[in-house]
Structure 1
Amino acid sequence: MTSAPPTPPVPVRRRIVLHVPGYEPLDAAAQARRLARTVGRTATCWGLRGVTGPATASEDGAVLAFPARLVGPDWDTEAEIRILDWHDLIARDLAVPLWSRIGGGLAALWALLADGTLGRYGRAHWRYLMFVALPVALLLGAVLGGVVAGRLVGGWAGVVAGTAVAAGLVMLADRRAHLGHLLADWVFARDLARGTRPEIAARVRRFAAEITAARHRRDAEEVVLSGHSLGMVLLAEALAASLEAEPAPPRPAPRLALVGLGSSLLKIALMPEATRLRAAVARIAAAPGLAWLEYTSRRDLVSFHRADPVAVLGLAGRGPHMERIHPRAMLDSGTWRRVRRSMLRAHRIYVTGNMRRYFYDWGMIACGPGAVGRDTAPDRLLGADGALATAAIGATVA
């Protein structure tokens, strides 16, 4: 007797997306506008109809949610995109005077050198050290410029001139290359690893409650947890706390997928003090039924390209499915030229939207018909007209 072929799963019709942004001075409303533009670019790129709605904030202001929808010829997927906000913690850091941020950032980097963390970074992905060295190189350049100016002028006038030139170059580096932001990021990273800031722990607990609530939702087939850059660290700790409190929510429960975008997990987890984060990664690696994907790019110096965090940390369990993306394949030529000249633009490419069809597209992760981590990528899932390629539905990610 010949058995009938298995029935392929139907496209996802409704999805909950919990997104934790990276260490950026953008409030939740600005993040929502960015992601809405990204969904719109996805619609344009793939020839679909895209709709986004107004955002509403939670009572405590920690979450900003807005609806989004993509519609193809034979599918229709709605998403509730919930931004887990922590910009107030970042704004507090960036309100510290620049010279204090410089001192704190240099102290944090010196500690990483002394305890061997920079060596571990190099072994995980040597190009990450270029990002580490950037603020130091900017400061050395400013000092060198001041020395040259002082020598040219000479005498006490040269001391004054050299100091003024060095200070001016530092201010220029802050405006043009975000020097103060880069160094504040390292101070935050140190505090996060050490667990010395109660407000960070409180925000992680709030995010964990949001994840637990999403896992209980009956009106969605899938919950996608999306973490960009340093936001992936907060998301990982929150997910681990949710899984620890409730390993299996009441059935039926939506599928659960974790997506890292230019993740900074290893930035923190390779610090000796980050025992809590390493335990969180181990808990996630052991979670049954969790789809875990990590997207990195060689052009992105702010992430650990192709480095499996579970393998690098020597943990048991199953690591993420690693995918590498090429921004050049996602963008038009003019945008690509701008991205390749900016380290920060290259790091934001995961969430700023596609201009060409490509296997990676955040808008498709949020509102596409394929189950994240289960179905094949959108460039094979959809035909030229945006309709489903039926043979691809249910085809598993390699």
Structure 2
Amino acid sequence: MTKVSSRLVFYFPGFDPLDAAAHQRRYERSATQSGKTFGIAYTVGGVTQTAAGSRMEVEALHDGHTNQSTIFIHDHNALISQLRAASLWKQIALGFKAGAGIIREGGAFAYFRHAWRFGLFFLFPFLFISLGIAAALLIAALPLLIGVSTLFCLLTIPLGYLFFAKGVMPFSERFHTLHLFADWRFALAVGRDEPLARDWIEDKAHRVLTALEQRSDEVLFVSHSMGASLALAVAGRVLELKADAFDSRKVSFVTLGGAALQCALLSSASRLRQSIGVMARHGDLNWFDIQCLTDPIHLYKCHTAKLSGHGDAGQPKIVPIRFKHSLSDERYRKNKSNFLRMHRQYVLGSDRKSGFDFTLLTAGPLPVASFADLRSDKPPQM
């Protein structure tokens, strides 16, 4: 297989509260681990701010061959911080408002119809907080329920409040419930093409066009989780601004645990669905979706283009993997029951040689297109 000497990468992370520097540190740790596993010497540079975005350089040396990858990290941590800046009660209220919006726009029904585990993921934070509120109200109303003097409410109402604020909410942070509320608020903003999301997409599209002036053997758009919606929206906008932006370039578009349908299945998400159609119909684009059964936070075995109304277009290939092939037995057992941790595993390091590894995909010597035919239980030939 012909090895790649240079690669231009546009990385759209998931809904993690990390800025570009934090993503770089995570990438460097993963590269160190994966490098030992695959016998590749990675050198990961720091983040520099350029007109084309937050940039880091990664060099990979394997069997005398050197590959240079320029990776632009298009994080959206500033938007996450903005969504999380409100008070506790306002975040809860806005979270439930967003949940109601998802239901009104048909998203919740579509999640359960096409991927019931993702439907449960949608319901989880709302059910958790609802139960906490119900228990707090029960404590507050206890004197009325047992038929004693209402004066005892002067004691039980503060107790109910303290139970919720000092008990339920700190415990809920183990499951990142407020962060998940922000995630659904952002999903609605992306689907509705609200300024919060649209301004970010517009800015990144122009930065991608600037970066594409750099020559390379291949170009990779890679996204994780919620980042898939943003990557599709940005890439679609790039082609609106410059229809030939991908011409004469080897361009791959890879989604990892892609949750683009989280936004695209909303009735208001017409512009995102249009971008998905543009990408699906682009003849020179190699698009595939890497999915894992043990990750419940994506729409497993769902075809993004088809369910977005583009059944007549070329469909992204679904590439199934198993994390047990890339993790040690101990690490797999430890993390398997942590659904958020397993969802994040796509972009973390490997303990064992397998067909998929994030660092190998983004900075290794193999062409990105070769990963579309991978078997996770069979290491690639390098």
Aligned partner of 2:340: which letter?
A: L
In structure 2, what is the Cα distance between the partners aligned to 1:63 and 1:174?
Answer: 35
Q: What residue identity is the alignment partner of 1:381?
A: P
- Structural RMSD (CA): 2.2
1:309-328 aligned within 5 A: 309-315=304-310, 316-328=312-324
Does structure 2 retain, via aligned residues, the 8 Å contact 1:291–1:372? no
Kindly provide the CA deviation profile for residues 116-166 of structure 1, in whole angstroms up to 9, marking residues without a partner as x: 321111122111011111112211331344356457786413333233212
> What residue identity is the alignment partner of 2:133?
V
Q: Retained in 2: the 8 A contact 1:260–1:295?
A: yes
In 2, the alpha carbon distance for the partners of 1:164 and 1:363 equals: 46
Q: Distance in 1 between matches of 2:250 and 2:200?
A: 24
Q: Is structure 2 residue 180 aligned with structure 1 residue 182? A: yes
User: Per-residue CA shift, 1:33-80, capped at 9, x if unaligned?
Assistant: 111222222211112222112221125xx7221111222225322211
Q: In the comparison of the two structures, how many residue pairs are matched?
A: 370
The partner residue of 2:3 within 11, 25, 46 is 11
Q: Distance in 2 between matches of 1:295 and 1:250?
A: 22
Letter in 2 for 1:125: A
Counterpart pick for 1:113 among 100, 103, 120: 103
| AA in 1 matched with 2:205 | A
User: Does 2:265 match 1:273?
Assistant: no
Displacement of 1:334 in angstroms is 3.2
1:244 matches 2:240:
yes
Q: Which runs of 5+ in 1 are unaligned?
A: 1-8, 383-387, 389-398
Asked if the contact 2:14–2:224 (Cα under 8 Å) also holds between the matched residues in 1, the reply is yes
Segments of structure 2 that go 5 or more residues without pairing to the other structure are: 147-151
Moved more, 10-19 or 114-123: 114-123
- Pick from 217, 220, 223 the counterpart of residue 224 of structure 1: 220
Task: Say which of 54, 63, 76 aligns to 2:46.
Answer: 54
SS of the counterpart of 2:346?
Answer: coil
Q: From the superposition, tell whether residues 93 and 250 of structure 1 become closer, same or farther in structure 2 (CA, over 3 Å).
A: closer
- The answer to whether the Cα contact below 8 Å between 2:252 and 2:287 also exists between their aligned partners in 1 is yes
Inter-partner Cα distance in structure 1 for 2:171 and 2:291: 27
Does the residue aligned with 1:167 lie in a helix, a strand or coil?
helix
CA contact (8 A) 1:300 1:343 kept: yes
The CA deviation at 1:185 is 1.2
Q: Matched residues, percent identical?
A: 25
2:149 alignment counterpart: none
Structure-1-length-normalised TM-score: 0.86
- Residue 205 of structure 1 aligns to a residue whose secondary structure is helix
Distance 1:31 1:276, change over 3 A: same
Matched with 1:138 is 128
Distance 1:368 1:117 in 2: 38
Of 15, 21, 28 in structure 1, the residue corresponding to residue 13 of structure 2 is 21
How far apart, in 2, do the equivalents of 1:246 and 1:269 lie?
Answer: 23
1:350 alignment partner in structure 2: 346
Deviations 1:101-123 (A, max 9, x none): 11111111122223432111112
1:15 is paired with a residue whose SS is strand
Greater Cα offset, 153-162 or 90-99 = 153-162
Amino acid paired to 1:97: S
Structure 1 contact 354–361 (Cα < 8 Å) conserved? yes
Deviates more, 1:12-21 or 1:297-306: 297-306
Q: Decide whether the 8 Å contact of 2:101 with 2:188 is kept in 1.
A: no
Match of 2:31 in 1: 39
The 1:250–1:152 alpha-carbon spacing in structure 2 relative to 1, beyond 3 Å, is: closer
Give CA deviations for 1:174-201 in whole Å, capped at 9, x if unaligned.
422211111111111112211222x422
Q: Which residue of 70, 75, 78 maps to 1:88?
A: 78
Which runs of structure 2 are paired with 1:119-268 in the superposition (5 Å)?
119-146=109-136, 149=139, 155-156=152-153, 157-197=155-195, 199-218=196-215, 220-249=216-245, 253-268=248-263
